[in-house]
Amino acid sequence: MAKMRIFIGQAVSGEDLNQLYKEMDAVYLSLDKAGHLHYCTLKENGQNFSKKTKMEMMKHAFNEIDKSDAFLAIVRSEKRSEGMLIEIGYVMAKKKKLILVVKKDVKNTYLRDLADKVIEFNDINDLSKQLEGLK
């Protein structure tokens, strides 16, 4: 299995940050078990990042995406994340692998059609199990 460096993108604005941190711990552990490297701006730069401008945040994300082999987009709801959609556009322009992780009850998204791999999940335990087998 080839080891990948995976950038993790997700909606953050308006979300429960404590819940996101817990979920990222589980995602990191699962990707470790699968043998992959990972980077999540929320996890690595959390509190400091909120002081940055949107442009600084996007430049930082693009820099980290450039260093990555794949982008793991986590979609938990139908609510759109402009930042993540911009990141996905960048990923596609750079011809990086797009892995969509989407909650099963999310129907209104075209991202499934754009992704190289789609993982549908019910809850964080289901997601963790599936990510452990990510190739």
Q: Which residue has the higher pLDDT, 133 or 17?
A: 133
In sequence order, what are the residues at sequence separation of 6 or more whose Cβ sits closer than 8 angstroms to the Cβ of residue 62? 87, 90
The domain in which residue 52 lies consists of 5-132
C-alpha dihedral over 93, 98, 102, 107, to 10 degrees? 50
Both structure tokens of 64: 């980290």
What is the model's pTM? 0.93
Confidence of residue 47 (pLDDT cuts 50, 70, 90): low
Domain count, the chain: 1
Given this model, what pLDDT does residue 57 score? 87
Residues 42 and 69: beta-carbon distance below 8 Å: no
CATH number at residue 31: 3.40.50.450
pLDDT in tens, 104-133: 999 988 999 999 999 999 999 999 999 999
